[in-house]
Amino acid sequence: MKVPWKWLNEYVELDWTPEEACERLTLAGVKVEELTYEKVDLSGVVSALVEDVSPHPSRPDLRVGLLSTGTGRFTVVSGAPGLLKGNMVLLAVPGSRLPGGMAVETKSVAGVESQGMVVCSNEILAGAEHRPGEDIILLPAGIPLGLAAQEIIDLDDWVMDLDLTVNYSHCLSILGVALEASVLSGKPLKLPSLLEKWDWAGPWGSRRPEDDPEMPGEWKIELADPDLCPRYVGKLVRGVRQTYSPPEIERRLMLAGMRPISAIVDATNYVMLETGQPLHAFDADKLEGRVIWARRAKRGEAIETLDGEERPLDEGMLVIADAHGPVAVAGVMGGARTEVSGETRNILLESAFFAPIPTRRASRKLRLRTEAALRFEKTLDPTAQPVAIERAAGLISEYTGGVPEPARSDANVMEPVNKSILFSTRVIKRALGAPISAGRCREIFESLRFAPGPVTKVGEWETMEVTVPPRRVDIEEEIDLCEEIARHHGYHNFEPRLLSPATPGGPPSREYVWSDKLKDFLVSMGGREVVTTSLLSQEDLNAMGWDAGDARGTPVPLQDPLSSNESVLRTSLLPGLLRVVFRNQSVRMPGGFFWETGRVFYPSAEELPLEALQLGLAMYGNLREASWVEGSLEATFYRLKGVVEALLRLMGLEASFLPGASMPFHPGISARVVAGHSTVGEIGEVHPLVMRNLNLTGRCATGWLSIEAILAMAKEKRFTPVSRFMQVERDIAVAVDAGVLAGDVIKVVEETARDLASVRVFDVYDKPPVPEGKKSLALRLTYRPSDRTLTEEDLSTDRDRIIDALRARVGGEIRL
């Protein structure tokens, strides 16, 4: 909503600067998004008297005028009807500039030299050619000669661009903003004479006895769907002629963001901007029959709108129709068939109340975000229709010479609204805290043109009955009145107060604390936390090798996605993480270790999808590049596994890694992470096929863990006494068949050895002298006896026992 400063000041004379006004309005909730100074650059355009006019020697449609600016005389060729002897006009002398950079020169027009041009309003406002039938600007007599155009027509102005919240529909008009400014500044509201009758609460809302829906000999209005259109006011203006609005009016419309069209259309727009009530003008002679219907569109109906587009309608849309069919999409845009044109002689004005939701729906569906629709989408003042139509009829009459019919047609099924709300200072004390007196509240209500009743004392509180005018559709209950008090008292006038410290705060649960610890651990492992989108495409999932048989391939879809790239909810963090790998590979980063925690979603039998919290991990390339001290650290399956092992160990979890995980993992280089008899995650290298699908290069290790599962099993550590005896290490190397799992070998050792603290694999070797088809595992056993110092004999006995067990259980042959 754009508010030209001078227009606003016509209704309330503010002693603020435009900047101050912006600040004050914004702090009262009428947010000014931007303040701009709009200037029309006219240099060398001055008032001039037509001293003489003679015919053009060769062109009957042109004439040659002799103009005086007081300091000079100019010969000008023009076809404008207003170029008549004795008229005062605006002359752009040679060398002057018009908006849009148009330069005026002396030039030959059909053989006669023309020194500059006499201008029309389109030329000085838009810098464009004169419009069909547009005459030059005629100035009132008595204006001094040679006066600059800016001195005559006030064109420069400040414009405040408002960004209003949906409850501020009462500020979708210059008058509404003027009222707010009047309340804030204490300056009186000055209304145009007609609008003065608008008492903001009163009888205009109801129908006058003389306003019959059936105008004698004219149109009958039928409210076929009163839920969509409960009120429709019509008024006939006869004998209009095509003309353009005065330049000042056109300029105001332009400053407010609207394009001037013709005096009739401009008048409807002007009144809409002024009062907030959208209006429409039909060419009355093009309406068929004598009944105006406000009805739902019929199946298959269409309308050619004013913009020349043929638009299909549906049964959810309200149309205005005559005997032939729709003539307007109600509240959105009029139709071309009944459009006001140069030939129009009689017009029918429309001023209606359309229901907001269907209007919004129609406007969105037709992609017609017109100024009218933007207003009807909000609930408007249900009483403004008559006053607005009278105001428009008056302006049209003034500009076009048309004669309004005295009566207007008013079909109205709306119940008269009488919003009377009991207001108590208790609500002020409870919600706002600050003591604002009943007297002050009453003052604010009065300045807002509400009607507060007398103040009554009830216990410790003071109450009053407040009647709220219908235009304030946002005010429904006491707490809404409280907000009016708060914003006019000024939010900045409330003192900040600290909450009582009596309540201890802190994390809600052990799981919350542990999930933070988990993040800290991953940071300490060199992991980079990432945040990726939860919205993926089906293709993203397919690229991971998840088909319809896989739960991860059948995501929760969005009903109406913005694009197919963001059309399903993620079932895993891995697609997002691998996209991060791709991103970093594509900008030539040598390697990285990424992780993310977040929700994944699965369809469920319940109303809402299942949400699960997951940890995702992915690494590629060099995690640390070689330095002069040591070699590079490569992202491998084993590196990732080490991180996961450490994580699980620090959480006190006993987990095992079983070979072979599903897609997107490499079947031979992946594992399921099993803890407490259930799979809590998977890790592995990315399957080469998936690498290809995602355009990834090199090798990449990835994995996921169910955070809920591991946090549920996480255990706090318990202290075990530290042995006083020294620990001893012994190595053992065992050759087993290549297919035997190291985990099984380690398990045998762990189960057999006594006083064993840990087993570490320090070498795996499968080349000669290790026989073909075998591999040798070198193990370091750390003994940590609790009650004695181990003797060589103890160790040798233990070793023999281990050797026997390895031979028996995994076919192991001792090599060392």
Partner 1 sequence: MDYLGDISIAHAKGGRRGKAVIPSETMRDQIDDLQRRVSKEIEEAGTLAELDEVRIKYLGKKGELTNLLKAVGSLPKEERPEFGAKVNSLREAIETGLREKSGYLDRKALDEKVRREVADVTLPGNLPEIGSLHPITKALREIVQIFYGMGFTVYESREAETDEMNFVKLNLAPGHPARDAQDTLYLTDTTLLRTHTSPGQIRGMLEMEGRLPVRFIVPGRVYRRDPFDASHSPVFHQVEGLVIDRHITFEDLKGCFLEFARGFFGPDTQIRLRPSYFPFTEPSAEIDVSCTICRGRGCQVCSRTGWLELSGAGMVHPRVIRNGGYDPEEVTGFAFGFGLDRAAMLKWGIDDLRVLFENDLRFLTQFEGL
Residues of this chain, 351-410, that bind partner 1 according to CB under 8 A: 356-357, 360, 377-378
Shortest distance (Å) from residue 110 CB to partner 1: 53
Residue among 18, 29, 176, 785 that touches partner 1 (CB under 8 A): 29
Contact between 560 and partner 1 by CB under 8 A: the answer reads yes
Residue the block writes with tokens 């507060």 = 452
Instruction: Give dist(CA 8, CA 32) in Å, integer.
Output: 14
Instruction: Give dist(CA 437, CA 488) in Å, integer.
Output: 13
Instruction: Give dist(CA 566, CA 575) in Å, integer.
Output: 13
Q: Half-sphere exposure of 253 toward its Cβ, with a 13 Å CA cutoff? A: 25
Residue among 508, 721, 739, 773 that touches partner 1 (CB under 8 A): 508
- Taking CB under 8 A as the criterion, which residues in 518-547 touch partner 1? 519, 522-535
Q: Give the helix ranges, DSSP H, for 593-677.
A: 637-650
Q: Give the helix ranges, DSSP H, for 40-187.
A: 121-126, 149-152, 174-185
Which element (helix H / strand E) includes 221?
A: strand 220-223
Q: Of 245, 231, 320, 313, whose CA–CA distance to 277 is shortest?
A: 231
Give the residues across from 312 on adjacent strands.
Answer: 302
How many CB atoms within 10 Å of residue 163? Answer: 12
Shortest distance (Å) from residue 504 CB to partner 1: 6
Q: Which of 630/793 has CB closer to partner 1?
A: 630
Residue among 512, 678, 750, 771 that touches partner 1 (CB under 8 A): 512
Shortest distance (Å) from residue 22 CB to partner 1: 9
Residue 331 is given by DSSP the state: T
Crossing angle between the packed helical segments 385-400 and 263-275, to the nearest 10 degrees: 150
Q: Half-sphere exposure of 640 toward its Cβ, with a 13 Å CA cutoff? A: 32
Cβ neighbours for 440, distance < 8 A, ≥ 6 positions apart: 489
Shortest distance (Å) from residue 15 CB to partner 1: 22
By CB under 8 A, which span of 134-142, 319-327, 394-402, 505-513 interacts with partner 1?
A: 505-513
Distance of alpha carbon 222 from its chain centroid, rounded? 38
Q: Of 664, 573, 649, whose CA–CA distance to 617 is shortest?
A: 573
Q: Which of 427/740 has CB closer to partner 1?
A: 427
Q: Which of 44/609 has CB closer to partner 1?
A: 609
Shortest distance (Å) from residue 502 CB to partner 1: 7
Q: Which of 118/644 has CB closer to partner 1?
A: 644
By CB under 8 A, which span of 59-67, 99-107, 301-309, 497-505 interacts with partner 1?
A: 497-505
Residue the block writes with tokens 């015919």 = 55
Phi, psi dihedral angles at 458 (to 5 degrees): -125, 105
Instruction: Give dist(CA 116, CA 96) in Å, integer.
Output: 8
- Taking CB under 8 A as the criterion, which residues in 598-657 touch partner 1? 598-599, 601, 607-609, 611, 623-624, 627-630, 633
Shortest distance (Å) from residue 560 CB to partner 1: 6
Shortest distance (Å) from residue 602 CB to partner 1: 10
Q: Of 648, 638, 689, whose CA–CA distance to 667 is shortest?
A: 689
Phi, psi dihedral angles at 347 (to 5 degrees): -125, 150
Shortest distance (Å) from residue 457 CB to partner 1: 20
- Taking CB under 8 A as the criterion, which residues in 319-358 touch partner 1? 356-357
Q: Which x/- pattern over 407-436 shows residues binding partner 1 (rule: CB under 8 A)?
A: -----------------------xxxxx--
Shortest distance (Å) from residue 525 CB to partner 1: 6
Contact between 712 and partner 1 by CB under 8 A: the answer reads no
CA angle 304, 306, 312 (to 5 degrees): 30
Shortest distance (Å) from residue 569 CB to partner 1: 7
Shortest distance (Å) from residue 682 CB to partner 1: 22
Residue among 587, 716, 767, 792 that touches partner 1 (CB under 8 A): 587
Q: Which of 531/605 has CB closer to partner 1?
A: 531
Residue among 499, 548, 605, 722 that touches partner 1 (CB under 8 A): 499
Q: Please count the residues of the chain.
A: 816
Q: Which of 166/808 has CB closer to partner 1?
A: 166
Q: Report how far apart the first and last C-alpha atoms of the chain are (Å, whole number).
A: 88
Instruction: Give dist(CA 261, CA 253) in Å, integer.
Output: 10
By CB under 8 A, which span of 54-62, 64-72, 230-238, 492-500 interacts with partner 1?
A: 492-500
User: How many chain residues bind partner 1 (CB under 8 A)?
Assistant: 93
How many CB atoms within 10 Å of residue 358? Answer: 21
Instruction: Give dist(CA 460, CA 581) in Å, integer.
Output: 67
Instruction: Give dist(CA 284, CA 393) in Å, integer.
Output: 14
Contact between 28 and partner 1 by CB under 8 A: the answer reads yes
Shortest distance (Å) from residue 170 CB to partner 1: 12
Q: Which of 45/647 has CB closer to partner 1?
A: 647
Residue among 132, 435, 459, 505 that touches partner 1 (CB under 8 A): 505
By CB under 8 A, which span of 10-18, 142-150, 583-591, 672-680 interacts with partner 1?
A: 583-591
How many CB atoms within 10 Å of residue 417? Answer: 15
Shortest distance (Å) from residue 436 CB to partner 1: 11
Shortest distance (Å) from residue 207 CB to partner 1: 28
Give the residues across from 462 on adjacent strands.
Answer: 457
Contact between 592 and partner 1 by CB under 8 A: the answer reads yes
Give the residues across from 226 on adjacent strands.
Answer: none
By CB under 8 A, which span of 94-102, 186-194, 329-337, 498-506 interacts with partner 1?
A: 498-506
By CB under 8 A, which span of 183-191, 385-393, 558-566, 739-747 interacts with partner 1?
A: 558-566
State the burial class of residue 351 (Cβ atoms within 10 Å of its Cβ: 0-12, 13-18, 19+). Answer: buried
Phi, psi dihedral angles at 719 (to 5 degrees): -80, 135
- Taking CB under 8 A as the criterion, which residues in 466-485 touch partner 1? 474, 479-480, 482-483
3-class secondary structure, 152? helix
Instruction: Give dist(CA 661, CA 690) in Å, integer.
Output: 14
Instruction: Give dist(CA 347, CA 267) in Å, integer.
Output: 12
Q: Which of 1/215 has CB closer to partner 1?
A: 1
Q: Of 186, 233, 171, whose CA–CA distance to 391 is shortest?
A: 233
Shortest distance (Å) from residue 17 CB to partner 1: 15
Residue among 15, 459, 502, 787 that touches partner 1 (CB under 8 A): 502
Q: Which x/- pattern over 142-181 shows residues binding partner 1 (rule: CB under 8 A)?
A: -----------------------xxxx-------------
Q: Which x/- pattern over 30-49 shows residues binding partner 1 (rule: CB under 8 A)?
A: -x--x---------------
Shortest distance (Å) from residue 668 CB to partner 1: 27
Contact between 594 and partner 1 by CB under 8 A: the answer reads yes
Residue among 84, 413, 551, 589 that touches partner 1 (CB under 8 A): 589
Instruction: Give dist(CA 197, CA 180) in Å, integer.
Output: 19
Residue among 59, 365, 583, 784 that touches partner 1 (CB under 8 A): 583
Shortest distance (Å) from residue 430 CB to partner 1: 5
